[in-house]
Structure 1
Amino acid sequence: MPTIQPIWSIRRIFLISIFSAFSILSILSISIITQQFNQTYHDSAAEQIEHWANILADESLLYLVNSERNALDDNFSLPKHIPNLSYTHIYQLDRESGKLNLFYSYKRNLQRTAILEKSNEIINLQTPKFKEKYLEYMQPIKVKNEIIGYIYLQSSIEHITQITNNSLITSIIIFLIICLLAVIIALKLERYISAPFIALANTVQLAARQRNFQQRCQDMPYREADILARNINILFVRMEKRLAQLDSAEQQSLEHSQELENKINKRTEALKESNQELLSTLEKLHQFQSHLVESEKMASLGDMVAGVAHEVNTPIGLGVTASTLLADRLNEIKSAFEHKTLKSSQLKKFLHDSGENIAIIYRNLNRAADLISSFKKVAVDQSSEDIRIFDVKELLREVLLTLRPQLDNLPYIIKIDCPDDLTVKSKPGPINQILINLIMNSIIHGFEGKETGQISITVMSLSNQLNILFKDDGVGVDESIKHKVFEPFTTTKRGEGGSGLGMHLVYNLVTQALGGSIVLSSETGQGVSIEINFPIS
C-alpha cells in the first residue's frame, strides 16, 4: 500500500518554523554571551591570583632570605585582606639538599582542614589551574634571578559559580520570553495569511454542496491569494458551462442506455444458453478424462499381469519337467524292485537324481511363489488407497520384483538408495503406481535410442515429509512440452500407442491421493530429475 504523506496546517508550519528559528538564534546568542562572560571572569580571576602572588612574594622575600620564620608569622597579615583567598603556602629551597621545606602556611577559615603540601606539583601549577570550586597557582620567589623558594595561593571561585548560575537563570528567563514572543508573532502571522484561504475554502465548499457555481470569490488582501481567487472564479464559470452540457448529454444518454439495455438482455439470454451447453460439454469431458485415467491405471496393471504370468510360467514349467522326470525314475525303481532286479548302484543313482530334481522343483516353486506374492501385494496396493504402516525399502523391492519381466532383457540399471529401517504410515497404493509409471516412462521415453541407461531412486525422511528423488540419464524432456508435461494427453508417442495420461496420473496421485508436491527439472540430453514430497506419520 502507498504511504500516506502527512498534511500540515499553515499554523503548525509557522509555529514550528518561527519558534525553531527564534529558539536556535536565542540559544546560540545566549550560549556565546555566557561563554564569553564566563571566560572573562576566569581570565580576571587568573590575573588577580598572579597579581597577588607577586605582591606576597615581594612582601615575604626578606623573611625568606633571612630565614625569619617567626617574624613572618607575626608580621605577615596581608593574606587576610586579599578577597577570596583560602590558602597560602611559602616554601623555602634548601640549597644544600635542593628540597623544598614549608616555610609559612595560612588558611582563612581556621575550622577548615589544612591542605597537603604542593611542593610536588610545581610544574603543573606554573599557570593558574581551575578546579571544581577553587583556583590555585604557584610561582617561584627569586633574588637576582636565583630561586630561593616558591609561593602557593589557592583562591575560592564560588562567587564566579554564583554569578554563572545567576546568568544562566537570567538567560532561561530571556529565552522563555523570546519563545512566547515567537509564538505570538507566529499566530498573528498565520492568522493574517490563512484568513483569505479559509474564506476561499468556505466559498468552494458552499458551491460544491449547493451545486451553485454562479457565485464568485471576493478580492483578496494580497497578491497570491487574489490570483487563486481569480482562478477559482474562472473554474466556476467553466463548471457552470460544463454542467449545462452534461444535463443535455444526460438526456441523450438515458435514451441510448434504454436501447443498450434491450440489446444486453437479448445477448444475456443467448449467453446463458451457450454457457449451459459449455458446462454440459465440460462435465462430459471430465467424466471422459476420469475414465481414461482409470483405464491407464488398469492398463499398467494388465501389463504387469502379462509380464508376471510369463515370468511365472518358466519356473512352473521347470518344476513340472523335474517332477515328471522324477516320476519316471520312481517307476523304474518300483519295477526293478518288484522284479527283484534292483541294484545298489541303480538305487544310489536314483537317490542322487531325486535329490537334484527335488532341489530344482523347490527352487522354481519358491521363485514362482515370490513372484506371485510380490505381484499380489503390488496389485492390491495399486487398487487401494488405504493408509497403513509399511517398510519403504520393502515396497521398492516388491515394485522392482514385479517389473522384473519387463526389465530383465533390457540393458538398464536401477539403483535404490533408501534407509533399511524407514517405516512410515501412508498410502502404499499411490506410491506403487507412481514408481511404476516413472520407471516405465523412463524406459519407454527417456532411454529411447540409447543402448545403456541408469535410473536412481533416493528416498529419505525430512521432518514428517517423505522425499523421493527420481533421476535418469536419458534424453530428457523437450523444452516445447516441459511446462505441460503433467497435463492430460501430453505425449511424444502420439499415434504410437501413447495415451499422454501417465504423468498426469502421477501428478494426480501425488497432489490429491498423497497431498504432496512434485517438481520436474530437465535439460535436453541431460536426463530428468523429479522430486516428490508428501506428508507421512
Structure 2
Amino acid sequence: MTSTPKSSPASEVMLFPQLPALQLIYDTAPIGLACLSRDCRYLQINQRLTEICGISVEGHLGRFVRDCVPALADSVEQIVRSIIETGEPVIGIEVAGQRADQVEDRSWMTYWHPLRTPNGEIVAVNVAAEEITERKRAEREIRSARDAAETALRHLRDIQGSLIEAEKLAALGRMVAGVAHEINSPLGSSLTVASTLQRKAELFAAEVARGDLRRSTLSEFVELVGDASAQLVSNLGRAAERVQSFKQVAPDQTKSHRRSFDASELAGQVLSQFARQLQNRDIALSLRCEPNLAMDSYPGPFGQALTNLAVNSMTHAFSGRRKGNIDVSVRAAGHEHVEVLFADDGCGMAPDVERRAFDPFFTTRRHDGASGLGLHIVHSIVLDRLGGQLRLESKLGSGTTVQIILPRMAPDRSAGHNEDSSA
C-alpha cells in the first residue's frame, strides 16, 4: 500500500501494552484476533489465531501480510484500504485457504473493525477470525443428503404414480369383470330362451307343412312366443342397461373430465358393477340414494373413490369368507353439498391401523398382493380433486364407516393440474 504510516513500526507494536484492557481481550478471546497496521503489517496476534490458523507469532508479528500470506494479500489490503477510506467496518467476509502446517482446505469467517485513537484517527484495523471449517463441511453434507433425499423422493413419487395408474387400471379391470358377470346372466338366459323358441318354431313349421296343425298346437305356440318374447326383452334390457352404465362410467374412470351428473345415479351405476361379486361372497349391498342430487364435478374421480371403497371392503373387511353387509347412502347435506356414507359391518380396524388407513403404501394384507394405495387414492381424490372432506371411523370387530362430504360445485382444478394426478 502507498499510504504513509503515521507512526513507526516499533511504536505500533507497542500500542497494545499501552492498552491493558485490549490486551486482556486478545489474550482471553475464544476466537482468533489480529491487529493490522494501516500498511498491512501484523501488530498483534492472539494465541487463538495461532491455533486455528497454524501460524506463529514470531513468524508474523511486525511483518507485512503480503510477505506472510501472499495468496490473501490483495484481499486484505483492499479491505484495510476500504476501512481507512470509509471508516466503516467490514463484516462477514469468508476466507478459504490452508493452514501452513496442513494441506486440508479450511474456512474462516472474518470481521474487520477500525481501531481509533481518542481523537478518532484510524491507526489500525482489528481482525476477528472464527473457524467455520466444520460448519461448512456439515453444510456440504446436509446439502448432499438433501439432494439425495430429493432424488429419492422424486423416484418414490414416480413409483407411486406408476402404482396409482396400475391401481386405477386394476379397479377398471374389476369393473369390467363385474360387468361381464352381470351381462353373462341375462345373455345366457336369452340364449336358452332363443334356442327353445327356435326348436319350437321348427316343430311348428313342420306341423304346418304336414297340414295337420291343431288349434291347441297353435295356441300353445302363440303362448310360447309371447312368454319367450317377454323373457328376451327383459333379459336383453338388463344386458343393455349394464352396457349403457359401463359406457357411461368406464370413460369417466379412465379420464378426469368435468361434467354435470346426478350423484345418486352415478353411485348406483358404479356399485352395480360389483353386485355379482358381492352376491357370490354372500355380502348384502344396501344402496339408499336421494333423487335429484345434481353435481357439477368430476364423475371419474367420484366413481373411482366409490370403487376403491367397495374393493377395500371386500378385500379387508370381509376377508376369509366372512359374510356381512355394506350400506351406502347418498343424500343432500344442505343446499351446496352431498354426503356419501359408506359403511360395512366387517372386521373393523385396530386404532393403530385406523390412524394410518390413508397413508400411502400402508396395508395389512401385503402378503396377499395389496398395494396400500386404495384408501390413499380415496383420500387424495376427495380432498385434492373434488374439494371435499373425509372422515373414517372404525372399531375392531364392529365394522368401518367412511363419511364423504362433497361440494355440488367442485373447485376448478384445471389450472396447472394434471388430469390424472387426482388419484
Q: 1:314 aligns with which of 150, 167, 185?
A: 185
- Could you say which structure has the higher helix fraction? 1
SS of match in other structure, 2:309: helix
Q: Does 1:256 align with 2:127?
A: no
1:269-309 CA-partner distances (Å, limit 9, x unpaired) = 55545544433332221111101011111101101211221
Give the Å deviation of 1:370. Answer: 1.2
Q: Deviations over 1:457-478 (max 9, x none)?
A: 3432335333323322322212
> Is 1:472–2:344 an aligned residue pair?
yes
Q: How far apart, in 2, do the equivalents of 1:436 and 1:395 lie?
A: 11
Aligned with residue 514 of structure 1, among 386, 396, 411: 386
Instruction: Return the offset for 1:441.
Output: 1.4
Partner of 1:26: none
C-alpha contact 1:296 1:501 (8 A) present in aligned 2: yes
Aligned 1:451-470 pairs, distance under 5 A: 451-470=323-342
Equivalent position amino acid for 2:227 in 1: E
Provide the rounded CA distance (Å) in 1 between the counterparts of 2:27 and 2:247: 85
Report the counterpart of residue 421 of structure 1 in structure 2: 292
Separation in structure 2 between the aligned mates of residue 355 and residue 485 of structure 1, nearest angstrom: 55
TM-score by length of 2: 0.64
Partner of 1:503: 375
> Match for residue 297 of structure 1?
168
SS in 2 for 1:460: strand
Which structure features the higher share of strand residues? 2
Counterpart for residue 332 of structure 1 = 203
1:482 to 354, 370, 385: 354
Would you say the 8 A contact 2:344–2:400 is kept in 1? yes
* Cα-Cα RMSD: 2.9
Give 3-state SS (helix, strand or coil) of 1:350's partner: helix
**Secondary structure at the counterpart of residue 495 of structure 1:** helix
For 1:310 and 1:276, the matched residues in 2 are separated by: 51
Q: SS state of the match for residue 498, structure 1?
A: coil
- In structure 2, distance between residues paired with 1:416 and 1:320: 31
2:313 corresponds to which of 442, 464, 475: 442
Match of 1:485, SS state, is coil
Please report how far the alpha carbon of residue 421 of structure 1 lies from its aligned counterpart in structure 2 after TM superposition.
Answer: 2.4
Native 8 Å contact 1:385 1:513 kept in 2: no
Q: Which residue of 1 aligns with 2:150?
A: 279
Distance 2:167 2:352 in 1: 24
TM-superposed CA distance for 1:342, in Å, is 2.1
Which deviates the most, 341-350 or 273-282?
A: 273-282
2:256 and 2:31 map into 1 onto residues whose CA distance is 68
Query: Distance in 2 between the 1:471 and 1:317 partners?
Result: 33
CA distance in 2 between counterparts of 1:463 and 1:341 reads 71
Counterpart-to-counterpart distance in 1, 2:335 and 2:26:
72
Cα 1:287/1:466, change in 2 over 3 Å: same
Matched-pair contact (CA < 8 Å) for 1:476–1:525 = yes
Higher relative contact order (CA 8 A, sep 6+): 2
* More displaced 10-residue stretch of structure 1: 480-489 or 298-307: 480-489
Aligned AA for 1:482? Answer: E
Give the Cα separation in 1 of the matches to 2:147 and 2:242.
52
Distance 1:253 1:483, change over 3 A: farther
Distance in 1 (CA, whole Å) between partners of 2:291 and 2:24 is 84
> In the aligned structure 1, how far is the partner of 2:370 from the partner of 2:314?
13
Distance 2:201 2:387 in 1: 61
In the superposition, relative to structure 1, how do residues 525 and 370 fare at CA in structure 2: closer, same or farther (>3 Å)? same
What is the identity, as a one-letter code, of the residue corresponding to 1:529? T
**Of residues 386, 395, 407 in structure 2, which corresponds to 1:535?**
407
Residues of 2 paired with 1:320 and 1:302: CA distance?
26
Q: Do the aligned residues in 2 keep the contact of 1:468 with 1:531 (CA within 8 Å)?
A: yes
SS at match of 2:302: helix
* 1:447–1:453 Cα contact (<8 Å) kept: no
Residues 244/533 of structure 1: CA separation in 2 closer, same or farther (3 Å cut): same
Residues 408-454 of structure 1: CA deviation (Å, up to 9, x unaligned): 23333333343222212111111111112112212321233543334
Asked if 1 retains the 8 angstrom alpha-carbon contact of 2:264 and 2:330, the reply is no
**For residues 454 and 276 of structure 1, do their structure 2 counterparts lie closer, same or farther at Cα, with a shift above 3 Å needed?**
closer
Aligned partner of residue 327 in structure 2, secondary structure? strand
- Measure the CA separation in 1 of the matches of 2:23 and 2:403: 69
Distance in 1, Cα, partners of 2:254 & 2:380:
15
Identity %: 33
Change (3 A) 1:477 1:253: farther
After superposition, where does 1:42-441 map in structure 2 within 5 Å? Answer: 243=25, 245-247=27-29, 249-251=31-33, 252=47, 254=49, 256=52, 260-265=131-136, 268-269=139-140, 271-441=142-312
State the secondary structure of the residue aligned to 1:468: strand
In the alignment, the residues of structure 2 paired with residue 287 and residue 397 of structure 1 have an alpha-carbon distance, to the nearest angstrom, of 34
Distance 1:531 1:317, change over 3 A: closer
- Structure 2 CA distance, aligned partners of 1:532 and 1:454? 16
Gaps in structure 2 of 5+ consecutive residues: 1-17, 34-46, 54-105, 108-130, 410-423
1:18-77 per-position Cα deviation (integer Å, ceiling 9, x unaligned) = xxxxxxxxxxxxxxxxxxxxxxxxxxxxxxxxxxxxxxxxxxxxxxxxxxxxxxxxxxxx
The structure-2 alpha-carbon separation of the partners of 1:344 and 1:407, relative to structure 1 and needing over 3 Å to count, comes to same
* Aligned positions, number: 302
Q: Provide TM-score, normalisation by structure 1.
A: 0.51
User: Secondary structure in 1 aligned to 2:179?
Assistant: helix
Change (3 A) 1:248 1:526: closer
Partner amino acid for 2:304? Q
Tell me how far apart the structure 2 counterparts of residues 411 and 511 of structure 1 sit (CA, whole Å).
33
What's the CA shift for 1:248?
A: 7.0
